[in-house]
Amino acid sequence: MGWRMPKTDVNVGAASVRQVAQRAGVSIATVSRALNTPEAVAEETRARVLAIATEMGYKPSTLGRNLVTGRSHLIGLIIPNIGSPLYGDMARGIEDVLQGTGLQVVLASTRDDSELELQATADLLNHRVDSGIVINSRAGDSSLLEAHSGWVYISPESPSFPMRVELDNYAGGRLAVQHLIDLGHRNIVHVAGPLREGKDRERGWRDELEDNSLSEGVRVLGDYTLESGVHATEEILRQGTPDAIFASGDLMAVGALRALRKAGLRVPKDVSLIGFDDAEFASLVQPTLTTVQQPSYLMGKKAAELVLNHLGGEEPSIVFLHPKIIERDSTAPRSQS
């Protein structure tokens, strides 16, 4: 807290109900009614009040209104990193749904730090947000759980909350492997990722192989960075050349691409490669990357809808989203060599 709010006035120009009431020759209640429940005010009075309000540039202060109604019309959004395209897309989905509802989004970034997340949550709570959306919570089912009832989670690590949006990562893993099997590949290895989402995808990989009576093959753990994708793939190649690689994230897939190229292997001719996420760059790299799409924008939309439902008094519910394959150029039928 290196900076303190000074006490100088800024919004001095803003007219208040009282001033409008005075100029219109009515009580403040009538002004309020003219704006909020126009049908409860005589045609003539309403017109006059509205005209004067407009003329004076009067806008009711949400501050005052919030205080008496007990609602801030603010929705908190807790997000690890607003700069990340995936999260950014979610935020966009949320924005788009909330647009025009009179609800505004208050942002808080956490950089995947559970300490900062708790702090951000406290800040938002102090602002009396009406509800909140937490993306990839790292604080987990913590002590704030109680305060959080009424909040929506897009966080694979927080399975205990009654309002959530969940991507079926397990199904995504199966989908990826199925796609590769359909192309004739048998030796399908995995560059895995950590956390619940990574484990779910890996489980999908494993189960799909098993269901097709294929042996499990190599699995190397990465951390969703490009470098980890490179290293994991180098490790894999040391144990032989697979038919196909399933990487748990697009960035790791690009890493795999580099390692394969460096080893003199061509994608998809020698090795097929599939990623996860459908990041922006997936369609820009060469070859373009086949991947399992994580519908970030839709996830954001669904989360915002859950918030709206909750505020509307509906029962909490959980939304499961199913990923789908985006076929591009990095996967191809197994070559007959």
Smallest separation (angstroms) from a copy of itself to the CB of 223: 17
Residue from 23, 46, 186, 199 binding DNA (CB under 7 A): 46
Between residues 18 and 322, which has the closer beta carbon with respect to DNA? Answer: 18
The reply on whether position 40 binds a copy of itself by CB under 8 A is: no
The reply on whether position 5 binds a copy of itself by CB under 8 A is: yes
Using an 8 Å Cβ cutoff, are 76 and 129 in contact? yes
Between residues 33 and 179, which has the closer beta carbon with respect to DNA? Answer: 33
Determine which helix (DSSP H) or strand (DSSP E) holds 94, and give its type and residue range: helix 85-98
Q: Which partner in a copy of itself, DNA, none is near 54 (CB below 5 to 8 A by kind)?
A: none
6, two tokens: 């000074």
- Taking CB under 8 A as the binding criterion, the range among 128-136, 156-164, 233-241, 268-276 that sits at the site for a copy of itself is 128-136
Q: Which partner in a copy of itself, DNA, none is near 22 (CB below 5 to 8 A by kind)?
A: none
- Taking CB under 8 A as the binding criterion, the range among 1-9, 179-187, 215-223, 239-247 that sits at the site for a copy of itself is 1-9
Cis check: omega of the bond before 162, within 30 degrees of 0: no
The reply on whether position 51 binds DNA by CB under 7 A is: no
Residue from 29, 42, 47, 284 binding a copy of itself (CB under 8 A): 284
Sequence-distant (≥ 6) Cβ neighbours of residue 152 within 8 angstroms = 131, 132, 133, 134, 161, 163, 164, 165, 303, 306, 307, 310
CA distance to 15, 57, 135, 300, per residue, from 64 (Å):
13, 17, 31, 30
Reference 266, options 176, 222, 180, 332; nearest CA is: 332
Smallest separation (angstroms) from a copy of itself to the CB of 305: 10
The reply on whether position 144 binds a copy of itself by CB under 8 A is: no
Residue 184 identity: G
Smallest separation (angstroms) from a copy of itself to the CB of 336: 27
Residue from 17, 48, 130, 278 binding a copy of itself (CB under 8 A): 130
Reference 322, options 136, 206, 180, 172; nearest CA is: 172
Using an 8 Å Cβ cutoff, are 196 and 137 in contact? no
Using an 8 Å Cβ cutoff, are 288 and 259 in contact? no
Smallest separation (angstroms) from DNA to the CB of 305: 25
Using an 8 Å Cβ cutoff, are 133 and 154 in contact? yes
The reply on whether position 125 binds a copy of itself by CB under 8 A is: yes
Query: Taking CB under 7 A as the criterion, which residues in 57-76 touch DNA?
Result: 58-61, 63-65, 67-70
Smallest separation (angstroms) from DNA to the CB of 111: 29
Residue 76 dihedral angles phi and psi, to the nearest 5°:
-75, 145
Using an 8 Å Cβ cutoff, are 188 and 247 in contact? no
Using an 8 Å Cβ cutoff, are 302 and 165 in contact? yes
The reply on whether position 89 binds a copy of itself by CB under 8 A is: yes
The reply on whether position 264 binds a copy of itself by CB under 8 A is: no
The reply on whether position 293 binds DNA by CB under 7 A is: no
Give the residues lining the site for DNA (CB under 7 A): 7, 14, 16-18, 25-33, 35-36, 40-42, 44-46, 58-61, 63-65, 67-70
